[in-house]
Amino acid sequence: MDLNFSWDFSTPEIYCLGILILIWIIEIIYQFYLFNRPFHFYQKEKNGKIEYTHQYPAVSVIVYAQNDAENLVKYMPKILNQAYPEFEVIVVNDDSTDDSKDILSVLETQYKNLYHTYVPEGSRNLSHKKLALTLGIKAARYDIVVFTNANCDPRNNEWLATIARNFVPGIDIVLGYTAIERKEKEKFSFWYCSYDQLLFSIRYLSFALINRPYMGVSSNMAYRKELFFKNKGFSKFLHLHYGDDDLFINEIANRTNTRVEISEAGQMTATYQDNYEAWKELKLQYDFTSKYLHTTAKSIFGIAKFFDYAFDILFVCLWVEGIIHNWTTAVLASILALSLFSIKVIVYRRAAKILRKPRLFFSLPFFSFIQPCINLYFKVIGSVTRKKNFTWR
């Protein structure tokens, strides 16, 4: 087969190449301006360019627990032994049926700064999680409240100090990051779950880093107690089981009062019996509450995905056209595609390293291609099970 290389392009080829180059530029800007934010912030923090407080304000740590007896034994001592001058830990036991109450009673005799309360049995038509956190916040003695779950393991005894150092004047909210614990032998599904969760985390962290915070996760975040009462608690979303983190932060965060903490010492690790089932439940939860979020992020992500597919379609068309008529077209399209893929891999792997996720490579195009189909599947499942998200059902 003769290879025809020519710089004499047809009019359709010129238009398609021009559009492909334009989308390529937009994609590059999107990757480096937004998705590369965690890495850029990590570098600034590493180089000492982020201002922190050294006053160590007193804080209240609120731990949500539901049938977490084993986790309380494993992780509560790590939280209670944080290297921090003044803090209390309030565990809210959400109607557990295991040995949680007995374990907490024993721990209270060992740690003077530990307190625990519980959600009353038989509470109906209420979000137990929101009720539990409300009880914890009302019981907190200090203005700064730090939130986590009983299944979360701090990286070391500097976790609390790392989160609290961000409360410089003017900062009322700190958004942290939680990774899912990676087991020794994971199923293939775990790789996709990790990919999807990392993109989810990059999005909310990156928007916060460009001063557009729109959500956080309750397993690792903090805010001033006065914000809770000024916002009348979770009153705007009492009809939903969820929203104590993403929807609440969406209400109280603004361009100047929020910070992000993603350094290794400030991260948490969440442990689950089944990582896939945990990821699926969290995905359904956040997919449902996302419709209540007020943010431009959703539109930007949708536009970005449109450009992804537009680029792929144009690349395939130009490549096929180039093979048939002009190999120069195919080569130029391939160079653009390979360079864009390389940049996406670099940005993804940078974030994966910082946020302790598998640093994928060859599976990235495949995961990116199937993600819309999987998201659509979860949209369908979410619509079918929609009623379970409401407290009045």
Residues 207 and 335 in one domain: no
Q: Is the distance from CB of 218 to CB of 180 less than 8 angstroms?
A: no
Q: Which amino acid is at 220?
A: N
Task: Tell me what pLDDT residue 322 has.
Answer: 72
pLDDT-wise least confident of 7-11, 218-222, 262-266, 331-335: 7-11
- Domain contains 6: no
Round the average pLDDT of the chain to a whole number and report it.
90
Residues 19 and 76 in one domain: no
Q: Which amino acid is at 290?
A: S
In the numeric block, the tokens 């290389």 are attached to 5
Residues 256 and 176 in one domain: yes
> Which H or E element spans position 351?
helix 327-354
Q: Total structural domains in the chain?
A: 2
Task: Tell me what pLDDT residue 385 has.
Answer: 84
Percent of the chain at pLDDT above 70? 95
Please give the residue that has the higher pLDDT: either 178 or 368. 178
pTM confidence score: 0.91
Residues 185 and 313 in one domain: no
Residues 146 and 275 in one domain: yes
Percent of the chain at pLDDT above 90? 63
Domain range for 29: 11-36+298-389
> Which H or E element spans position 284?
helix 275-290
Residues 73 and 140 in one domain: yes
Say whether pLDDT at 185 is over 90. no
- Domain contains 205: yes
Residues 108 and 188 in one domain: yes
Task: Tell me what pLDDT residue 1 has.
Answer: 45
Q: What is the distance between the alpha carbons of residues 308 and 199, in angstroms, rounded to a whole number?
A: 15
What is the band of 365 on the pLDDT scale with cuts at 50, 70, 90? confident
- Domain contains 177: yes
Residues 20 and 134 in one domain: no
**Tokens in use for 163?**
């989160």
- Domain contains 140: yes
- Domain contains 56: yes
Residues 211 and 325 in one domain: no
- Domain contains 292: no
**Tokens in use for 90?**
């309030």
What is the band of 80 on the pLDDT scale with cuts at 50, 70, 90? very high
pLDDT in tens, 219-276: 999 999 999 999 999 988 888 889 999 999 999 999 999 999 999 999 999 999 888 8
- Domain contains 243: yes
What is the band of 318 on the pLDDT scale with cuts at 50, 70, 90? confident
Residues 343 and 222 in one domain: no
Q: Is the distance from CB of 345 to CB of 338 less than 8 angstroms?
A: no
Residues 116 and 56 in one domain: yes
What is the band of 102 on the pLDDT scale with cuts at 50, 70, 90? very high
Residues 16 and 72 in one domain: no
Stretch 274-283: mean pLDDT: 91
**Tokens in use for 167?**
């409360």
Say whether pLDDT at 356 is over 90. no
- Domain contains 344: yes
**Quick one: which of 174, 178, 292, 299 has its CA closest to 242?**
292
Highest average pLDDT, of 94-98, 181-185, 344-348, comes from 344-348
pLDDT in tens, 15-54: 888 999 999 999 999 999 999 999 999 999 999 899 999 8
Decide which of 232, 253, 282 is a domain's last residue.
282
pLDDT in tens, 109-159: 999 999 999 887 666 657 889 989 999 999 999 999 999 999 999 989 999
